[in-house]
Amino acid sequence: MNKKPFTYKKSGVNIRAADNFVNFISKISTKKRGNKKFNNIGGFGSISDIPNNIKQPKIVACTDGVGTKVEIANLLGKYNTIGIDLVAMSVNDLIVQGAKPILFLDYISINKINLKKLKSILKGIIRGCEIANCELAGGETAEMPGTYEKGKFDIAGFAVGIVDKKKILNKKKIKKNDLILALPSSGIHSNGYSLVRHILNKKKINIKDNTFLKNELIKPTKIYVNEVLNLINKNLLNGCANITGGGLADNIKRVIPDKLCANINLNNIKTLKIFKWLKHNNISDEEMLKTFNCGVGFCLIISPKNLKKINTYFSKEFKPYVIGKIINGNKKVKLNAKIDWK
């Protein structure tokens, strides 16, 4: 009796499709980079140059994902911006310590390779790397039938940056009476989407039929790299914080030194329409503040004398504004007043 042999493809894994995707990555990343010196896409590891203009280089590394925002991308069938989110989530963490992103790697796991979907995701990752001025050095694509349902996928990112030892942003630089500035977010960024999706489900809202939500929920995370690095190079920053999961209080307290407190006036926050929509769906102020950025994507801590200089480095849309200052105290963060949700 002739029996057809078992194959990897029959189990759900298509190596040829994976190879085709790797070839696509190699071609597009080399084209964007314009430098074939260290083109190692498809190899076992990637090689990158370390900038030679840094006297005492220190390596900073970060990793993150985009959470259940991937489900919004799946729902809308729009995948060309989720890669920008992926890059943003890691590089925005790097710059908190003053590091310049130099390379990025991605990990994509999917139930079955869909070249059109993967190419679209990859184009977003490359666009994010362009904005952050770093190199897509490599990555991994894993086809995992049985682990993911049909059409499902997840992505993770890994960024490496370099900072001169003398320019590392640490708690010691933050002083009493320093100002705390908010940098506006572009929207929800990539945190809180499980709660967003819960609301959509409970309210039976189809975002495909809602232009406002369709645009807002897929809007990519703002990458703050170039603006913040310009401030660091000009010695205009004492500290900063990326406002992600945990919201304003949980993130900013991570950079506040002992015996000092970030005194923040919530009434100063210029929130966005999407957060007002969320708030009006029966979410408490406390829950809003610990789940979402509420309009503040990034915080800068500066000496008051540098305020006017700093404003010149930002476009009108992302112009920083004062939301508080550093005072004496052991609480790390003190939130005053309330956000105006009207």
Decide if pLDDT at 24 tops 80. Answer: no
Residue 65, both tokens: 């994902």
Predicted confidence (pLDDT) per residue in 135-179, tens digit: 998 889 999 988 999 999 999 999 999 999 999 999 999 999 999
Under the banding of pLDDT at 50, 70 and 90, the label for residue 52 is confident
**With contact defined as beta carbons under 8 Å apart, do 288 and 279 qualify?**
yes
Ordered DSSP codes for 300-326: EEE-GGGHHHHHTTS-GGG--EEEEEE
Average pLDDT over residues 36-53: 69
**With contact defined as beta carbons under 8 Å apart, do 123 and 83 qualify?**
yes
Q: Which residues touch 228 (CB under 8 Å, ≥6 apart)? A: 95, 237, 240, 298, 300
Decide if pLDDT at 133 tops 50. Answer: yes
Angstrom CA distances, 56 to 47, 134, 307, 308, stand at: 20, 20, 29, 31
Residue 191, both tokens: 């945190």
Predicted confidence (pLDDT) per residue in 280-327, tens digit: 999 999 999 999 999 999 999 999 999 999 999 999 999 999 999 999
The overall average pLDDT reported for the chain is 91
In the chain, where the domains are located: 15-167, 171-187+222-336
Give the pLDDT score at 51: 82
Predicted confidence (pLDDT) per residue in 240-261, tens digit: 999 999 999 999 999 999 999 9
**With contact defined as beta carbons under 8 Å apart, do 48 and 162 qualify?**
no
Under DSSP, is residue 244 helix (H, G, I), strand (E, B) or coil?
A: coil
Q: How far apart (Å, rounded) are the C-alpha atoms in residues 209 and 112?
A: 28
Q: What is the pTM of this model?
A: 0.90
Give the pLDDT score at 247: 95
Topology of the domain covering 171-187+222-336:
Phosphoribosyl-aminoimidazole Synthetase; Chain A, domain 2 (3.90.650)
Q: How far apart (Å, rounded) are the C-alpha atoms in residues 274 and 188?
A: 8
CATH homologous superfamily of 15-167 equals PurM-like, N-terminal domain (3.30.1330.10)
The answer to whether the 15-167 and 171-187+222-336 domains have the same CATH topology is no
Under the banding of pLDDT at 50, 70 and 90, the label for residue 49 is confident
